[in-house]
Structure 1
Amino acid sequence: MATRTIVIDHGSGFLKAGLSGCNEPQMVFPSIVNYIPCRENPGPSYAQRRVSLGIDFGRPDTYSYPIQRGRVLNWEGVEHIWSFVLEKHRQENKDFPVLITESPLKDPGERKKTLEIMFELLDVPSVLLADQLEMSLYASGLLTGIVIDSGYGLTRVKPFYLGRALSSSCTMLEFAGQDLSAYLFKSLFKEDCNQHNLFQVETVAMTQMSKCYVPQNLAEVLDFPQSLPSSSEESNTYRLPDGTLVELTPMQRLAPEMFFSPQVFGLPGPGISQAFMEALEMCDASMHSLLKSHVIACGGNTLYPGFTKRLYKELTTDSFSTRLWVGTNRNFSVWLGASMLAHLSSYKSEWITREDYDEVRRL
């Protein structure tokens, strides 16, 4: 096997890719494709249209996310993205094996299609499919603990013991970063909101990155507006890309509260803290203390100011102390764990070679 491995973590919102052994992925970009009408077919149908990466600024209404809520909806788009990644890395060595992370959903049909694309269309020598949350566990240097991951499409809680998932203990919530974005779209632009309007897309993205935070007590913040961090006018206003100043409401700035109190935003529960307790209760009671002392928070949503502090506060009880493991690169934790695992001898038997794949197909 080659000394380096191409590691691909393809999430619903972003793809992270790079060569194993590095401290961070060399490629990070939105998991977005668009279809450009060509001379043979200038119309709206999919036949004969060219797929390309990212948003076509001339036709912003043609872009889409090929993976939604951890499920692949557009395999052609996924194949195009993977092909782009492999082309960039194969300039150095065509025979690099590929480690690709997969959602804990682990749909057999998706696994079969992934192997088909990798071996038959992209001609890779060997493939390892790795559980995303298990990779986050390894990135923290742990084998036992509960992983709390909140990304673009899903929020998930999964316990592990000695590197193996505890069966039937995973809690999955179908609300995450895209729901926070959708709330801001509707809140900021109301009846004119359009998620293919690039002006609105940029406004929502910048609002999320620079103005949103998680309060430590929602009721207190709403009752006492002066307790909002830095209550100056500059802190509560946002300058739109066209220069217009808008004043953000408290609930717009507190939008990440939806991960803890989804019902406040009209979303189904439970919140992330309750989901953690539900996953913990499905484990043997004798393991509760051990698991609560190894709680790993990861995913892009955990980067919101106040998120991990609020999570620690809600998970700490009189009966159990909680130790929260928080890495500085926790938005890349899945990729980092996969990069570490790529050459572990204990996983050597789990690699699938082209010969293995061909043999199974012949059966």
Structure 2
Amino acid sequence: MTANTIVIDHGSGYLKSGFSGWNEPQMIFPSIVNYRPCRENPGPSSAQRQLGLGIDVFHPDTFSYPIQRGRVLNWEGVEHMWSFVLEKHKWEHEVSPVLFTECPLKEPADRKKTLEIMFESLYVPSLLLADQLEMSLYSSGLLTGVVVDSGYGLTRVQPFHLGRPLQAGCTTLEFAGQDLSAYLCKSLFKDDVNAHKVFRLHMVGTVQMNQCYVPQNLGEALDFLQGLPGGSDENNTYQLPDGTSAELTPMQRLAPEMFFSPEVFNLQGPSVSQALMDSIKTCEASLQPLLISHVIACGGNTLYPGFTDRLYKELATNHSAGTNATVWVGSKRNFSVWLGASVVAHLSTYKSEWMTKEEYNER
């Protein structure tokens, strides 16, 4: 495709977009829409309400996520977001070709609806629908390996051999970043109904970014944090809506442990590391050593300090893994899907998979 191909990776938590060939997306924003009441319809009904992006400061409790757990629940919302992206990326007053990444959980009806919106409503000249995990594989420069992708709505494991997915090893876990946020929100605010929803999101996000990490050993980390004198870390104290201060508990700081010990947080297993090892074991015995040595960690949750070290530790100490375990990480792994798609947009090997508006009309 041309150099002005637009790459869109729309996840449950964030939308990433930009022109192919770049080293990072030019636009990254939360996958959130809001419905503002208007004069014609001041009530809660959706009819004639004004649709907007993000959180409206004047009506902060009207927002929602149109994609949840990798599934589109609000097509009007996602179309509004795609329209905004294409308008911002217009090239010399024309809409560019679009490479759009699809979640592996896609249904045939979802693909049909995506094509309908892109060609009939947004008038894109040509479109390529690409698998998200396959794009993550290519962003690492590898053709064989196991992709471990943990984002906002889903955690997924998929082995590949020479660029082809080994479907028997595909695993999808419905716990991810939003579950960590929900745990922190519930434990920080408890029954404080006066805490504004937007304030909760902001505070939880701050805690996640600045204080949370994955311990290498949960018991030892708990003993260490519990042994610290109260108030010894000023950055660990937060102001609550009622004006009181609260200090994070050890389990709040160690909340990303849920990816490795989901049972501790009353979540359904298996853990990320167990899902990874089970996935590898489903593959042919001759491929397993190669897959173990090419584990690709990506997604926003893998950025937590200690995440990739813990994943390697649990993989290497597994009896079947041996000493060949290797976890490949990149500094921009929180948008590895977009990076891989940015490369694929220029590959001639994918030329036959692009669909033009004319071909869509014929079908």
Short-chain TM bin: over 0.9
Higher mean alpha-carbon deviation, 16-25 vs 86-95, is at 86-95
- 8 Å CA contact 2:2–2:346 kept in 1: the answer is no
Hey, what's the Cα distance between the residues in 1 that align with 2:196 and 2:340?
34
* Equivalent residue in structure 1 for 2:341, among 338, 341, 354: 338
For 2:218, the aligned partner's letter is L
- 8 Å CA contact 1:136–1:337 kept in 2: the answer is yes
Partner of 2:27: 27
Structure 2 CA distance for partners of 1:183 and 1:194, relative to 1, 3 Å:
farther
How big is the alpha-carbon RMSD for the aligned residues of Structure 1 and Structure 2? Answer: 1.9
SS at match of 1:109: helix
The residue correspondences of 1:201-350 to structure 2 (distance < 5 A) are 201-225=201-225, 232-239=232-239, 244-317=244-317, 318-319=319-320, 320=322, 321-350=324-353
User: 1:224: how far off?
Assistant: 3.7
Q: Deviations over 1:86-121 (max 9, x none)?
A: 000115351410001010112111100000000000
Partner of 2:68: 68
Structure 2 CA distance for partners of 1:196 and 1:143, relative to 1, 3 Å:
farther
- 8 Å CA contact 1:10–1:101 kept in 2: the answer is yes
Hey, what's the Cα distance between the residues in 2 that align with 1:63 and 1:182?
16
For 2:253, the aligned partner's letter is R
- 8 Å CA contact 1:8–1:99 kept in 2: the answer is yes
SS at match of 1:182: helix
For 1:280, the aligned partner's letter is I
Higher mean alpha-carbon deviation, 39-48 vs 186-195, is at 186-195
SS at match of 2:191: helix
User: 1:164: how far off?
Assistant: 1.0
Structure 2 CA distance for partners of 1:5 and 1:243, relative to 1, 3 Å:
farther
The residue correspondences of 1:60-139 to structure 2 (distance < 5 A) are 60-139=60-139
- 8 Å CA contact 1:213–1:255 kept in 2: the answer is yes
- 8 Å CA contact 1:186–1:193 kept in 2: the answer is no
User: 1:31: how far off?
Assistant: 0.2
User: 1:242: how far off?
Assistant: 8.4
Aligned residues: 359
Higher mean alpha-carbon deviation, 192-201 vs 235-244, is at 235-244
Q: Deviations over 1:65-92 (max 9, x none)?
A: 0000000000000000000000001153
User: 1:284: how far off?
Assistant: 1.0
Hey, what's the Cα distance between the residues in 2 that align with 1:242 and 1:196?
11
Q: Is the aligned partner of 1:189 residue 2:182? A: no
- 8 Å CA contact 1:2–1:95 kept in 2: the answer is no
Higher mean alpha-carbon deviation, 160-169 vs 27-36, is at 160-169
For 2:300, the aligned partner's letter is G
Structure 2 CA distance for partners of 1:43 and 1:239, relative to 1, 3 Å:
closer
User: 1:341: how far off?
Assistant: 0.4
- 8 Å CA contact 1:295–1:325 kept in 2: the answer is yes
SS at match of 1:115: helix
Q: Deviations over 1:236-260 (max 9, x none)?
A: 3234588753210000000000000
For 2:326, the aligned partner's letter is R
Higher mean alpha-carbon deviation, 23-32 vs 315-324, is at 315-324
Hey, what's the Cα distance between the residues in 2 that align with 1:194 and 1:253?
24
Q: Deviations over 1:207-258 (max 9, x none)?
A: 0110100000001222343677xx9322532345887532100000000000
SS at match of 2:169: coil
Hey, what's the Cα distance between the residues in 1 that align with 2:299 and 2:290?
23
Structure 2 CA distance for partners of 1:195 and 1:116, relative to 1, 3 Å:
farther
- 8 Å CA contact 1:23–1:336 kept in 2: the answer is yes
SS at match of 1:45: coil
SS at match of 1:168: helix
SS at match of 1:340: helix
With the length of structure 2 as denominator, give the TM-score of the two structures. Answer: 0.95
For 1:342, the aligned partner's letter is A
* Equivalent residue in structure 1 for 2:360, among 352, 357, 361: 357
Hey, what's the Cα distance between the residues in 2 that align with 1:221 and 1:170?
32
- 8 Å CA contact 2:3–2:21 kept in 1: the answer is no
Partner of 1:147: 147
For 1:286, the aligned partner's letter is S
For 1:359, the aligned partner's letter is E
Unaligned 5+ residue runs, structure 2?
A: none
With the length of structure 1 as denominator, give the TM-score of the two structures. Answer: 0.95
- 8 Å CA contact 1:194–1:200 kept in 2: the answer is no
Unaligned 5+ residue runs, structure 1?
A: none
- 8 Å CA contact 1:37–1:50 kept in 2: the answer is yes
- 8 Å CA contact 1:298–1:331 kept in 2: the answer is yes
Hey, what's the Cα distance between the residues in 2 that align with 1:170 and 1:227?
42
SS at match of 2:87: helix
SS at match of 2:252: helix
Structure 2 CA distance for partners of 1:253 and 1:194, relative to 1, 3 Å:
farther
